[in-house]
Amino acid sequence: MNNNWLKNLQISKRQGEKRFAVLLDPDKIPAGEELYNWLNEIEQSGATDILIGGSHLSKGNTEELVKNAKKQTSLPVVLFPGSPEQVTEHADVLLFLSLVSGRNADLLIGRHVEAAPLIMAMDIETIATAYLLVGDGPLTTAAYITQTLPIPSAKPELAVATASAAVLLGMQAVYLDAGSGAANSIPTEVVSAVSNAVDVPIIVGGGIRDFEGMERVWAAGADLVVLGTVLEKVRDFSQLTPS
């Protein structure tokens, strides 16, 4: 099993090299030539990683999208699965997410038991990842589907305690997410507090809309910033370059 992705992210963290990923939701990506052109734009954009997955899929084909991304780009393709049905061995990496900010046992361990035999049979790097929803509303798709309350943005101490507990349990990365289509990104105070409390890579997504927003989150301690909704709407990387 190839275990390079986490090691490279850890190296980036130690060296202060910031990364950003484009999150592709199989339900929301274009098809045919439009997808081909979009993947080429991602390849040329300066993105370091591609994440693929969604909180709820109704029609998208994760495996087909993963294969296209692998064929048309040289970037690591990382699964960000909302369910076991989104797991495929064709990706490079799987974020094995445990929703530690909530108390839904199904998303803390239940679905993991369902997926584990399938994953163990695959040759895919698997990263135990503490997944924390943070925010104050309006309700995001992730919060609705998971039936959990996010950690309040004004309570960084709760995010720190939750992330710290997850790391003590053996989690290898922390993913702070405001949720798809979030009105606001996670406050830098929360990112900074968690980054200062734990020594694993910090991934941050949700509500980030431009390069200045990315820089603020990076400066607060994020090692990998994830952008999804903003690019789904306009598919324009110009706003993600310094002005």
| Secondary structure (DSSP) of 180-211 | TT-SSPPPHHHHHHHHHH--S-EEEESS--SH
Q: Say if residue 8's pLDDT is above 90.
A: yes
The pLDDT score that the predictor gives to residue 243 is 56
Neighbouring residues of 42: CB distance < 8 A, sequence distance ≥ 6: 22, 50, 73, 75
- What pLDDT was estimated at residue 66? 97
pLDDT digits (tens, 9 = 90+) for 170-203: 999 999 999 877 888 999 999 999 999 999 999 9
Question: What's the whole-model pTM score?
Answer: 0.94
pLDDT exceeds cutoff 80 at 64? yes
Return the axis-axis angle of helices 188-197 and 156-168, rounded to nearest 10°. 30
Contacts of residue 195, Cβ cutoff 8 Å, sequence gap at least 6: 202, 220, 221, 222
What's 109's DSSP letter?
A: I
- Written as six digits, the tokens of 36 are 């081909």
pLDDT of 1: 45
**Angle subtended at Cα 40 by Cα 37 and Cα 41, rounded to the nearest 5 degrees:** 90
- Residue-level pLDDT at 145: 86
Cα 44–Cα 48–Cα 49 angle in degrees, nearest 5: 105
More confident residue, 1 or 54: 54
Q: What is the pLDDT of residues 124-179, one digit of tens each?
A: 999 999 999 999 977 888 888 898 999 999 999 999 999 999 999 999 999 999 98
pLDDT at 144: 87
Percent of the chain with pLDDT over 70: 96
Least confident among 44-48, 54-58, 70-74, 122-126: 54-58
Q: What is the pLDDT of residue 182?
A: 81
Q: Which domains does the chain have, with CATH numbers?
A: 4-236 (3.20.20.390)
Amino acid identity, position 214: M
Contact 174, 163 (CB under 8 A): yes
